[in-house]
Every structure is written in C-alpha cells, then in structure tokens.
Structure 1
Amino acid sequence: MPLPRATPASSPRVIDTREDYLAAVEQLRAASGPVAVDAERASGFRYSQRAYLIQVFRRGTEVMLFDPPAIGSFAELQDAIGHEEWVLHAASQDLPCLRELGLEPYEIFDTELGARLAGYPRVGLGAIVEETLGLHLAKEHSAADWSTRPLPASWLTYAALDVELLLDVRDVIETRLAEQGKMVLAQEEFTAVLEREAPEPRAEPWRRLSGLHSVRGQRGLAVARELWRARDEYAQEVDTAPGRLLPDSSIVTAAKANLASKGELASLTGFHGRASRSQLDRWWAAIAAGLATDDLPALRVRDDSLPPPRAWSDRNPEADARLKAARLALTSVAEEYQLPLENLLTPDHVRRLAWSPPGDAGEQALADRLAELGARPWQIAATAQSIAQAFVDAHQALAEAPAEDS
C-alpha cells in the first residue's frame, strides 16, 4: 500500500520584505526547542553557491521561507536562533552558504549523519522520512534553479516540507541513537561537522577539467589553462555556472586541436556551449595567450595523494598487507557498532596509516596519528587497538610467507 503523501500544515509563502522578515524573526524567537534549517541554491545554474531561499521552522510557528537577495542582512535571525540547536539534513552542504549570510549555529543535529550512525540503510531525506514517519516526501525539485523568481507554488511546498518534517525525524533518530548507546559518538560527529574548516583553494583548479588527461604536452595544457581562466572570469561576471557557458569538453577539444586562427576555432566540431559563439573573441584571446606564454605548466604535479590501493601490492607489498588486514579488522568492529565502515573511520585515514605507519606502530602511536589526521576520540577508542593488532598480524604473515612457499 502506498504511503500517505506529506503535505505542509499551511500554504507556504515567501518572505521578501524587511517588515515581514522582522515579524517572522520575533515569532521564531518566542518559540522554543530546536530549529530546523535548510537552504536552497542554484548549483549548476549560477556561478555562486549563495542561498536563494532559507527555510526555517520551529514548533509553534509556521514555516518561514526567507528570500535572501530581497531581505539583505540576517543579523536579527542570527540573534534570535544562533544559540539554539539547529537541525539540518547533510549539514556540510548548507553550512557554507548559511555562513555567507552571517547565519552560524551554536550546535547542530545532522539527520543525515545521525541516520547513518543509527544504522538506517537509506539516508536521503525522502527515504528517511519514509522510514521514520511513514510519509512519502516528493523530492522532484532538488536540482531546480532556485534563483528563479517568482518561485512556483509546487517548489514552495517542496521547500517547506524539507524543514517542517525535520524536527520529527530528528526525534525518532535521537531515540534510536540513545537506544543503541551512540549519542556521545553522534555528538562528536556533529561537532566535527560544525567545526570542520573549509578546504584550502586549489593551487591550480583548472587541472580538474574533465578529460584533461587526454591533452598532450605543456603547450596544450597552457591553452586549456587559459581557456579555463577566461571561462571562470566570464562566469563570475555573469553569475552563471561555467559549464553552461562552455563545457569542459569544449575546452579540451580546443586545447588538443592545434588551432591557427579564430576562424578555425569557430568551425571546430565539438566546440559548443551557450557562449561558444557570442564570446568567440574571448575564447580566441585565451587560446592565443596559451600559445604565446612562456609560463608553461608542469606535465604532472605532485600532491600528497596516495597511489590507488590496487597498485599497492606491486609498489609497497608491506603496506598492502597492512591495509588488507586493517580493513578486515575494522569490518568486524563496524559490525559490532552497527555502523557503516566509512563512518567508523574515514577510509583515507586507514590508507595513510597503512602506507606509512608511525615508528613502532603500537596502539598509542597509531592513536596519536589518527588524532593528527582528524579522527574523533570515539573513533580512536574504537579502532586503534584493532588496527595495531592487524598490523602485527600482517607483519607476521609476511615474515612467514617465504617458509610457506618453500
């Protein structure tokens, strides 16, 4: 039998004047309990990752749908709810654009992460609403262009439900976490999300062009770099997602084509996109700059990334043995804790320990290294001993291998 469809308690409307905004803030201030918060962006449509709609709900109020471009400052909202627990789903996705508006929670409850820790098999908001509340939540507008104005009524319903149901979802997940004895570790995980620093900007972001590996030679890479820079500058100028103006595939095609004139660029098969012709002078100037520059990029760049594990058996057999033994041991621990393996301990932490373990690779040394990598105290307590023993077992297995083969 199909689940009943979730519907909002009242007809949602957008709050887009300072007067209505300030009245809504006072309603939220007067209410009590956790605050459900969500944000809608226009990823894939706009260059920026700014929020184009902020949804806020607290028991005792209606859902507030705030229009950030129209409202401006959110200082009053921050003052009203900043000291409360905020409930978000996949908080790491929304915190950056909320902070851009001066909205910063004191503490959070992440229903997506909490659902993972509680052992729910599916943790998307639609799935977890079904699991916890027995309601069907339609998610058909998740990839919409939220910079659209006016926003269609069906989009407003979607946006309102994203927060109106979230507090009830939170309560069910909290109960399950408490029954499993996981509230302490959940709080550590929520705090880690809240305190996680934004990653440093990439030194050469153009190297993330899809298909760049097929461009040969430093000159071709220079052309790709200059086209990327020209596209990025124009995308910022018109606030449009770069790929909508000129796809990565067009940049790579042009970088590989060894072009001699703007006319050849104009007739190049595979060079397309919304701005491929209207900005032809811009693109040709970038190509010319790449062809003329003495600042040629390196063919390869060094970073601190590890080789793919499939190559470890040839490149570092000892590390390969340690990794396999650690994964096996941690799988057992994850089953004991009823957690996904990746939530028990970040896979990259395990790989780095296995590739280059500390000095004696004892439990305390491994625990210290895990702390340096960013593992939470509960993760270290749950895994350090098992990893240390796994490394000992791997070493012994390698030492005994020649005798077994003879």
Structure 2
Amino acid sequence: MAEYSVIGDHTEFENAARVLAAGTGPVAVDVERASGYKYSQRAYLVQVFRRDAGVFLFDPPAIGDFTALEDAIGGLEWVFHAASQDLPSLRELGLEPASIFDTELASRLLGSDGFGLAAVVEHALGITLAKAHSAADWSTRPLPDPWLEYAALDVLHLIDVRDVLTQKLEDSEKSEIAHQEFMATLTRAPKPPREEPWRRLSGLHKVRGARQLAVARELWNAREAYAEQIDVAPGRLVPDRSLLAAVIAAPQSKQALAGLSEFHGRASRTQLDRWWDAIERGRASEQLPRERVPSDALPPPRSWSDRNPEADLRLKAARPVVEEVAEQLHMPTENLLTPDHLRRVAWNPPELTADGVGAALEMLGARPWQIAHTAQKIAEAFVDAPQSASDPDETAS
C-alpha cells in the first residue's frame, strides 16, 4: 500500500501548489466531506492529482486559505467524478475551475454499465478499486492510513479514465453533447433556500392541524440551530421520526416527553429543556403555519388521468418516443431529457411545433443538444396523441 500524508502546513501547501502548477495536463480533483456526521457540507479533505506532479491530499480546516492552489490550477480543466457533488464544497474554499470533465456524466452519455467510480475505472482501465470508506467521517483527525489510500485512489486514475472516455465520446460523436453537459454542470445556479425548510421533516404529512405544525416547526428549528452550533448532523441529535413522535404524542409535561420511548437520539435527554421549550413555543405561537402550501410541483403522473386527462394522454404518447430516442443514442432516458421537463410540457403544452416545444424546453433548462434530439419528436407525439380517453386510437403507456 502506498503511503500518503495530509498537507496542513502552509509552507508544505505552497510548495505543493508550485509542484502542481509545474505539472502537465488537466488535474483530477475530489472532495471528502463528513455527510451524516457534521452539520456543514464543508470539505474535510481535498485530493488533487496531476501528471508529472503526483497526488496531494490537502486538509482544508488546517489550511484555510486556498488561494495558492486556485492560482496554480484554476485555469486548467478539472476532472471529477460526479462534479455536482463536489463543486459547492470547493467553491466555499475559493476553488473554481475554468472548465471540467465529469467521468460519471461522460459514462452516462456513453451508455456504460454502471456509473459509480469503481465501475467506471474498472470498465475504462481494468483496475479494481475498493470503496470501503465512502461513508466515513472525514472530519476524523488523524485520518487512518487506509482512508488516505482510498482518498488518493479516487483521483489517481481519473486522468487516464478521462482520456479513454474522451476518445469514446469522439468515436460516438458525442463530444459536443458532453461539452454542453459539462458546462451546464459548471454554471448551474445553486437552488434557492426553501422558504420553510422545516417542512422537509420526514413524515410531516401525518401531522394534523396548524397548531401541531407549529410545534413541528419549532422542534425542527431548535434542532437545526443546535446542530449548526455544534456542527453535528441534525439526524444524529434526534432523528426525524423522534421529532414527529413528540409532535403526535403531544406530551403535557417535560417529564412526559422524557418518558416517551419513541423520542430518542443522542441529544434527546441531554437537551431535554431545549426540546420542551420548542414545544411550548409552538403551542403558544401566534404565527400559525399554513396547513396547505402552494406549490408549482406537478401532481404524480398516476393521478393525471383524473386531474388532467388530455395531459395524461400527451405524456403517454411522448414518453415512449423519448425513450426510443435515448435507446438509439445509447444513454439513459433521464440524461437525454429530464423527466420533469417532459411532464411539464405535457401538462401545459406550448404551440405544438418543434419550435414551440423547443422554446418551452429551453425555458425549463434543457440544453441545445437535448432540444435538437427531442423537440420535433415530442411535438409530433403530442399532435398524434388521442384527444380523449375514449378515443379508440389511444396510445398505450
């Protein structure tokens, strides 16, 4: 097993940045977080590999300022596996690539079998990677040697994989498709924060009435504030199902809450005052939440035949057409066109021409290559769709 060390010293960091700047070709980059352990999604390890430079493992909490690394490699192509997962954490450190290559996304566009890193590396290079530490707590210090070996292997082979996939993309005439997808990933704006994030509480649909919803809100907010304060994943303090149990049981005293067997978690008793105060705030609140929240989300397709029969028929006509195009292109249907985009143009159809459907898809965020392959087909499918469920020519789903 090769030995790797974590760089946290500023002098070593600046030396590593100079070595990377003198390397050749693109750089492979990966990030390890402590998801499920910590509240934040910050990076706890940044791995970088460049030919003629080697592998470097950087400790973000110890280094702090990553300007030297950004100056060294910021103008290069960065090679990721599933870039969308790593870019936000890197941007928090001031690390921003000029362009990217995503081996996971490229493998999808090529219709490969399996899109995980181990599968992609094995398929491209015939090398087997062990993925034993993917769910580890990367905030651990010092990091064990086997974890460091695992982290280094995440980037060590990515440049070679990139070269193989680049050739395959060229051979299959998908280079431009990949370029558009990579740029879309790099430039995609972050999702705006939810207006009422507490509504993410799992099982909230079981809560009845505005007053109980207020209690759920205050418990969720109390857990969130404490989790952020001590940087621990909220679910490790008190799981969602325990908060929900406390809401539904409606205990009448702090002691009753403590005696509730369904209310458990590492902080369920040590922070009992915090949770009881939250319950009392919810019960006394004059700002009661709405029981029904307006949403632009479409209803599930299984209900369309009752709620919007014409849209249901359009979707049933267009879906197999899009699936056929994806099959011809040898890629998953969801990579050819985001399923929600198809559902939205079926639910609220534009002018039933290629231009009309194309403009609607563009507004939803579809890339030019996606529109070019699907807009005409979707428009034709919508036109040919039966106009009612009783139409004898109804298209099969």
Q: The TM-score by the shorter chain falls in which range?
A: over 0.9
1:3-402 to 2 correspondences below 5 Å: 10-358=2-350, 360-395=351-386, 400-401=391-392
CA offset digits 1:298-321 (Å, max 9, x no partner): 111111000100011111111011
State TM-score, norm by structure 1: 0.95
CA offset digits 1:273-329 (Å, max 9, x no partner): 111111100000000000111111111111100010001111111101110111111
Alpha-carbon contact 2:309-2:389 (below 8 Å) kept: no
1:267 and 1:398 map into 2 onto residues whose CA distance is 56
- Matched residue of 2:100: which SS? strand
2:100 partner amino acid? I
1:382 and 1:64 map into 2 onto residues whose CA distance is 42
- Matched residue of 2:198: which SS? helix
2:296 and 2:26 map into 1 onto residues whose CA distance is 41
CA offset digits 1:71-117 (Å, max 9, x no partner): 11001110110010000000000000000000000000000000000
1:328 partner amino acid? P
CA offset digits 1:171-205 (Å, max 9, x no partner): 11111111100000000000000000000001111
1:336 and 1:258 map into 2 onto residues whose CA distance is 57
Distance apart, 1:396 and its partner CA: 5.7
- Matched residue of 1:387: which SS? helix
- Would you identify which runs of 4 or more consecutive aligned residues in structure 1 move more than 2 Å? 395-403
The equivalent residue for 1:4 is none
Distance apart, 1:397 and its partner CA: 7.3
2:175 and 2:388 map into 1 onto residues whose CA distance is 38
What stretches of structure 2 of length at least 5 have no aligned partner? none
Q: 1:34 to 1:402 in 2, by over 3 A?
A: closer
Taking only aligned residues, the RMSD between alpha carbons, in angstroms, comes to 1.3
2:366 partner amino acid? A
1:222 partner amino acid? A
1:345 and 1:380 map into 2 onto residues whose CA distance is 8
State TM-score, norm by structure 2: 0.97
Distance apart, 1:349 and its partner CA: 0.2
1:399 and 1:256 map into 2 onto residues whose CA distance is 45
1:363 and 1:130 map into 2 onto residues whose CA distance is 41
CA offset digits 1:26-54 (Å, max 9, x no partner): 00001110100000000000000000000
How many residue pairs are counted as aligned between the two chains?
A: 394
1:104 and 1:357 map into 2 onto residues whose CA distance is 38
Identity of aligned residues (%): 61
Further displaced range: 293-302 or 14-23: 293-302
